[in-house]
Copies of this chain bind each other. A is one copy, B any other.
Amino acid sequence: VRIAVDAMGGDHAPAEIIEGAVAAAVGDGIPVMLVGAEKTITDELKRYRYPGDKVTIVHAPEVISMDDHPASAVRRKRDSSLVAATRLVKEGAAAAIISAGNTGAQMAAALLILGRLPGVERPGIATVIPSPMGPKVLIDSGANVDSKAGHLVRFAYMGSLYASRVLHAGNRAPRPSTAPIHWMGIRVTGGRGGPRVALLSVGSEPTKGSEAVIEAHQILAQAGDLNFVGNIEGRDFLSADVDVIVCDGFVGNVALKLVEGVVFTLTGMIGREIRRNPLRMLGGMLVKPAFGSLYRQFDYATYGGAPLLGVNGLSVICHGSSRAPAIRNAIRFAERAAQENIIECLSKG
């Protein structure tokens, strides 16, 4: 399978994007299609040695910037790297598109070009978050606001499927007792032994939460084909032993960025406190490796990108600040998702 890479999107495009793509091609043997201004890409590629059949260039001279209005940019800039890369997926030339550019535009391109899967009203972004208990899937981490109960229920199913097929496949041993179960006619690993799915709410009781969350809880609690474990609260966000956290995109976006901000603020405050006197600084040097392994555990780059689940094709959203290792990981993730036939699994019914 080939992965289409939007070479022009992201804070560090094109250099870091192309470096990451070449690393995936050389190090992981994944064929990549670099989509963007041909001259720019060719110039960048001069810095690397790579097998010619693994790295191809698709010329698309236009660029969608971070300030562009998503939907109208997608309609207007038909020769942009993002639109061209998404079209490669639609046409079957690529198995997935990854981009670190304008997220709104990427979602708009996915909706307009790839279209929704049958029965999916609102696709959701499935982001893998690192935690002491291992990686979890957060869905929706920002595609929608004002989600209704039905949307949350759909996120739960899509998140469960993604966790069982893509996440557990490589990162974590499957849980015991994964009796095969069926969802909408297809066999998925779910039910009692499948990924543990939780709703993010303001209390553990089924009666706590917004109207949509309370209604979604009722539906999920009766769903025999999903391993629904109930509500979790904000304080359990990182520590809960669950595989999938389901919430509205407004809440998910705030939560995800909050974790990022708190980690950043806290480590900054610790650093300032440590630099206040020489003894602490000595201690700081000794404990530095501990922070290093903590950072690695919390590094979003490990999990690369977040797919928009519910559209008819793989569109993987990367953090705007992604550097080469994050791009490489996103490409590996996209390849794994493609090989697991995640879209086919999601669409059968």
A residues whose Cβ falls under 8 Å from a Cβ of B: 131-132, 142, 145-146, 200-202, 209-211, 213, 233-239, 249-251, 253-266, 268-270, 273-274, 276, 279-280, 282-291, 293-294, 297
Contacts and interface: CB of A to CB of B under 8 A. Distances in A.
Nearest to A273: B290
A2 B201 CA distance: 37
Contacts of A294: 266, 269-270, 273
A211 B291 CA distance: 41
A211 B146 contact: yes
- How many identical chains are in the complex? 2
A134 to B, nearest CB: 13
Contacts of A273: 287, 289-291, 293-294
Given A202-B145, A266-B266, A261 B274 contact: no
Contacts of A213: 250
A264 B287 contact: no
B237 A261 contact: yes
B210 A146 contact: yes
A280 B289 contact: yes
Given A233-B254, A280-B287, A297-B269, A249 B132 contact: no
A233 B284 CA distance: 31
B235 A268 contact: no
A210 B290 contact: no
Given A239-B265, A270-B294, A202 B254 contact: yes
A290 B280 contact: yes
A67 to B, nearest CB: 10
Contacts of A202: 142, 145, 249-250, 253-254
29 contacts: A145-B202, A145-B211, A146-B211, A202-B254, A209-B250, A210-B250, A233-B254, A234-B253, A234-B255, A234-B257, A234-B258, A236-B261, A237-B257, A250-B251, A255-B258, A262-B263, A262-B266, A269-B297, A270-B291, A273-B290, A273-B291, A273-B294, A279-B286, A280-B287, A280-B289, A282-B286, A283-B288, A284-B287, A284-B290
A308 B211 CA distance: 22
A261 B286 contact: no
A69 to B, nearest CB: 9
A73 B67 CA distance: 53
Contact of A283 (B235, B253, B285): B285
A254 B234 contact: yes
